[in-house]
Amino acid sequence: MHPKLNNFYRNVFALLMTVVCFNTGAGAQKRAGDQKPVFVIVHGAWGGSWAFRKVDSLMTEKSCVVYRPCLTGQGERVHLASAAVNLTTHIQDVVNTILFEELRDIILVGHSYGGMVISGVADRVPERIRKLIYLDAMVPNDGENVMGLMDPKGEGLTKMIQGDYVVPVWIKPDQKPPRDVPHPLKTFTEPIVLRNENAKKIPATYILTVDPGKKAEGDNFAFSATRARERGWKVLEMRADHNPQWSAADELVELLWSLK
């Protein structure tokens, strides 16, 4: 090929590559700007991902992407219940959802016992989490467990222990799904490990649900809200019972949407 023609084709190729790279970069920036908020919602004890089905639907209508991992031994995974299931198992359930679904920049929500789980998840994969939202949930310190936080005198949860499970009175063997199920005891007795300093840098919000007609300071999770304030988190109050995903789903979704 003539040297001049060779240089000509080289210049054309370089120009085309510049255009392609520019368009690709612009497209990537547009996709990043248009990215839908991703929520990962972790349910509480005895429940399952089914409990947040309505919340999922309402948030999806608002163009959110919602994941509802079901903890081992709960909900549709009740057939996997065993004495070996512990807090670490449940933390790994959620970590694996995040890793295998390749999720990043997520808003991680934990309800009730789910606060223990998301605390452990944040300690494991803080780089994947944009925000933490504790929904009437436990806020543990390193080395604490559910029994110590929620039943220090052995007057509540301890009395529900049946073998290797915690079984409250509202759980009946003849109930049809979806329903609450016995909760593996070791998830309540295993101390949580929280030692990753990067997890403490994740912005967090606490939502305290207070029953209508009652005072916030008398709520069962008031101590968790106090801890959240001491940590400098945003603390919000919501007039609803402990399960706003059922009793006040629309209001809950609006609140979560405002925190995205």
Catalytic residues: 112
Q: How far is residue 37 from each of residues 66, 193, 257, measured CA to CA in Å? A: 8, 28, 9
Please give the full DSSP string across 126-190, using - where no structure is assigned: GGGEEEEEEES---PPTT--HHHHH-TTSSSGGGGEETTEE--TT--TTPPSS----EETHHHHS
Q: What is the DSSP letter of 221?
A: T
Give the Cα separation of 106 and 37 in Å (integer): 7
Nearest to 48 by CA among 177, 189, 230: 177
Give the Cα separation of 97 and 95 in Å (integer): 5
Q: Which amino acid is at 58?
A: L
